[in-house]
C-alpha cells in the first residue's frame, strides 16, 4: 500500500505544492569533456579529474557546468562516491592550485569580495578524510546549474527547455531546488559511467539550501543509496508545522525562486499543509537517510530536524528497518546510526570535519552490510 498508493501520493504533493514538478523528459543532451586531470593530486592520494558538462537543448541552446572529481589512488576495486554541490566554486573547496574556477563565478561574485577565492571554503571539504576512507568525492558549483538569484534564471539550464518563459511561472513549476536536484542526477549519470566508481554506492550530501536539494534529489533518484542532509532546516529536514526558526513566509519571501509558486499558499498557514517534511525523508526508504543538526543553528530548528528523522522511521519499519529509537533528541556528539542516521554537534551552521567523520562511518556501515 505504501509503495503503490501512499508514496506516489506524497511524491505528487511535494512536487505539486513545494518543489515543483520535475519535467519527465527535458530532451537535453549532455556531453562530457575531460578538461584537466592529475593522477597525483593531494600529494599522490588521489586522481583528480575536471569534467566539463556540455548541455544542449532541443532548441539548440547550450549550457556548461564543471565537475571536480577526486578518486582515491591505490584501491584495486571500484569505490563509493559522495556527490555534493559547493557554494562558491570548485576552486574554493581546496587549496590545490590546479582546480579550475567554476564557470559562473563572475556572474555571482561581487567586486572586491573575499569570497570565491581558492581554498576559502576548504574547511567544509574533508577530501583527505574521505579519500583515506576509500571514497571518491565529486563536486560542482550549484550556480553552474542555476545561479542562485530570482533574476538569473536566464543563465540557468532552464532556457534549454522548449517550454521556458523567463517572466511567468506556473503554480507547480519547479523552483531552483528542483533544478539543482535535476543537476545532481546529471552528475550521477556521469559517475555511473566512470570506471573507478561503484555505481551501487552513490551518496548525495548537501548543506543548508543544498541539504534541501540533496533530500529532494535523493527522493527522486533511487541511484542515491545514502541521502545526507546537513543543517537543511526549513524546506529540508525540519518539520514545517513546528513553525520554529525559519518559516514558510520568510523563506518564500527571501528566496522566491527556490520553491514552486504554489508553496506560498502555506505562508503563515503551515497548519493547512496536508504533508510535512518527515514524509519527505520517508520517501527515501528503503534506502538510507541521514540528518545532521548544529546546536547553534536554531534558524534551522535542530529539534524539528530530529523529530522529522524520527517520524520517518514509521515507513522504515514497514521494510523491517530500524528508525531512530526515541522521540528524545540525542545529546551533542552522540551520533545515532540505525537505518536512519542522526547527529547534532556543537557549533554553528556549517559543515565540519566532525560531520564528515559521522557520514563516512554511517556510509561504511551501510555499504559493508550490503556486501555481506
Decide: is 304 part of the binding site for ligand GTR (CB under 6 A).
Answer: no
Decide: is 208 part of the binding site for ligand GTR (CB under 6 A).
Answer: yes
Is 217:204 a contact under the CB 8 Å cutoff? yes
- Identify the sign of the CA torsion 297, 302, 305, 306: positive
Decide: is 294 part of the binding site for ligand GTR (CB under 6 A).
Answer: no
Decide: is 251 part of the binding site for ligand GTR (CB under 6 A).
Answer: yes
Extract the C-alpha cell encoding 198: 561503484
Report the candidate in 176, 155, 148, 137 with the shortest Cα–Cα distance to residue 47.
Answer: 137
Nearer to ligand GTR, 102 or 208 (CB): 208
Q: How far is the CB of 158 from ligand GTR (least distance, A)?
A: 20
Decide: is 92 part of the binding site for ligand GTR (CB under 6 A).
Answer: no
Q: Scanning the structure block, which residue is given the C-alpha cell 578538461?
A: 35
Extract the C-alpha cell encoding 83: 556527490
Decide: is 301 part of the binding site for ligand GTR (CB under 6 A).
Answer: no
Decide: is 227 part of the binding site for ligand GTR (CB under 6 A).
Answer: no
What's the gap between Cα 111 and its chain centre? 28
Extract the C-alpha cell encoding 46: 588521489
Residue positions counted in the chain? 372
Nearer to ligand GTR, 113 or 166 (CB): 113
Residue-by-residue DSSP string for 25-48: ----EEEEEEEEEEEEHHHHTEEE
CA distances from 29 to 150, 189, 195 (A): 25, 12, 21
Q: How far apart are CA 211 and CA 229, in angstroms?
A: 4
CA distances from 126 to 2, 38, 109, 174, 349 (A): 37, 19, 24, 32, 16
Q: How far apart are CA 240 and CA 271, in angstroms?
A: 9
Q: How far is the CB of 125 from ligand GTR (least distance, A)?
A: 16
Nearer to ligand GTR, 124 or 209 (CB): 209
Nearer to ligand GTR, 40 or 250 (CB): 250
Distance separating the N- and C-terminal Cα atoms of the chain = 30
Decide: is 215 part of the binding site for ligand GTR (CB under 6 A).
Answer: no
Look up residue 85 and give its DSSP letter: E
Decide: is 277 part of the binding site for ligand GTR (CB under 6 A).
Answer: no
Q: How far is the CB of 235 from ligand GTR (least distance, A)?
A: 6
Q: How far is the CB of 252 from ligand GTR (least distance, A)?
A: 11
Q: How far is the CB of 271 from ligand GTR (least distance, A)?
A: 21
User: Is residue 208 annotated as a catalytic residue, yes or no?
Assistant: yes
Decide: is 99 part of the binding site for ligand GTR (CB under 6 A).
Answer: no
Q: Quick one: which of 18, 173, 246, 276 contacts ligand GTR (CB under 6 A)?
A: 246
Catalytic residue selected from 156, 176, 208, 229? 208
Q: How far is the CB of 212 from ligand GTR (least distance, A)?
A: 7
Q: Quick one: which of 133, 143, 209, 287 contacts ligand GTR (CB under 6 A)?
A: 209
Q: How far is the CB of 230 from ligand GTR (least distance, A)?
A: 10
Decide: is 233 part of the binding site for ligand GTR (CB under 6 A).
Answer: yes
Extract the C-alpha cell encoding 165: 518563459
Q: Quick one: which of 234, 281, 307, 312 contacts ligand GTR (CB under 6 A)?
A: 234
User: Is residue 257 annotated as a catalytic residue, yes or no?
Assistant: no
Q: How far apart are CA 300 and CA 237, in angstroms?
A: 9
Catalytic residue selected from 149, 185, 267, 349? 349
Nearer to ligand GTR, 135 or 263 (CB): 263
User: What dihedral angle (degrees, nearest 10) is formed by the CA atoms of 17, 139, 108, 143?
Assistant: -30
Catalytic residues: 208, 349
Question: For binding to ligand GTR (CB under 6 A), which residues are involved?
Answer: 208-209, 233-234, 246, 251
Amino acid at each position: 500500500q505504501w509503495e503503490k498508493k501512499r508514496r506516489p501520493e506524497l511524491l505528487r504533493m511535494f512536487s505539486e505544492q513545494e518543489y515543483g514538478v520535475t519535467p519527465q523528459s527535458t530532451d537535453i543532451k549532455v556531453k562530457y569533456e575531460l578538461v584537466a586531470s592529475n593522477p597525483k593530486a593531494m600529494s599522490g592520494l588521489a586522481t583528480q579529474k575536471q569534467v566539463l558538462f556540455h548541455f544542449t537543448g532541443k532548441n539548440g541552446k547550450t549550457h556548461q557546468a564543471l565537475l571536480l572529481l577526486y578518486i582515491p589512488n591505490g584501491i584495486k576495486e571500484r569505490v563509493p562516491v559522495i556527490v555534493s554541490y559547493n557554494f562558491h566554486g570548485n576552486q574554493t573547496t581546496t587549496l590545490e592550485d590546479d582546480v579550475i574556477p567554476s564557470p559562473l563565478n563572475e556572474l555571482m561574485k561581487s567586486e572586491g569580495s573575499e569570497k570565491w577565492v581558492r581554498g576559502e571554503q576548504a574547511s567544509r571539504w574533508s577530501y583527505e578524510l574521505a579519500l583515506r576512507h576509500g571514497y571518491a568525492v565529486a563536486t560542482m558549483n550549484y550556480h553552474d546549474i542555476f545561479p542562485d538569484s530570482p533574476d538569473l534564471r536566464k543563465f540557468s539550464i532552464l532556457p534549454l527547455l522548449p517550454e521556458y518563459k523567463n517572466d511567468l511561472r506556473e503554480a507547480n513549476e519547479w523552483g531552483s531546488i528542483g533544478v539543482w536536484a535535476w543537476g545532481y542526477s546529471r552528475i550521477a549519470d556521469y559517475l555511473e559511467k566512470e570506471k573507478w566508481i561503484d555505481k551501487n554506492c552513490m551518496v548525495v550530501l548537501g548543506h543548508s539550501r543544498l541539504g534541501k536539494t540533496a533530500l529532494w534529489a535523493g527522493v527522486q533518484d533511487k541511484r542515491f543509496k545514502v541521502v545526507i542532509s546537513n543543517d537543511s532546516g526549513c524546506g529540508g529536514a525540519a518539520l514545517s508545522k513546528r513553525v520554529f526558526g525559519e518559516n514558510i513566509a520568510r523563506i518564500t519571501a527571501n528566496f522566491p525562486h527556490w520553491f514552486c509558486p504554489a508553496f506560498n499558499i502555506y505562508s503563515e498557514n503551515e497548519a493547512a499543509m496536508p504533508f510535512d517534511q518527515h514524509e519527505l525523508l520517508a520517501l527515501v526508504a528503503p534506502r538510507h537517510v541521514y540528518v545532521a543538526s548544529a546546536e547553534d543553528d536554531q534558524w534551522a530548528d535542530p529539534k524539528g530536524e530530529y523529530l522529522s528523522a524520527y517520524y520517518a522511521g514509521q515507513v522504515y519499519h514497514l521494510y523491517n528497518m530500524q528508525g531512530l529509537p526515541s522521540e528524545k533528541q540525542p545529546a551533542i556528539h552522540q551520533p545515532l546510526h540505525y537505518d536512519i542516521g542522526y547527529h547534532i554537534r556543537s557549533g554553528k551552521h556549517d559543515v565540519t570535519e566532525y560531520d564528515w567523520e559521522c557520514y563516512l562511518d554511517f556510509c561504511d556501515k551501510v555499504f559493508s552490510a550490503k556486501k555481506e
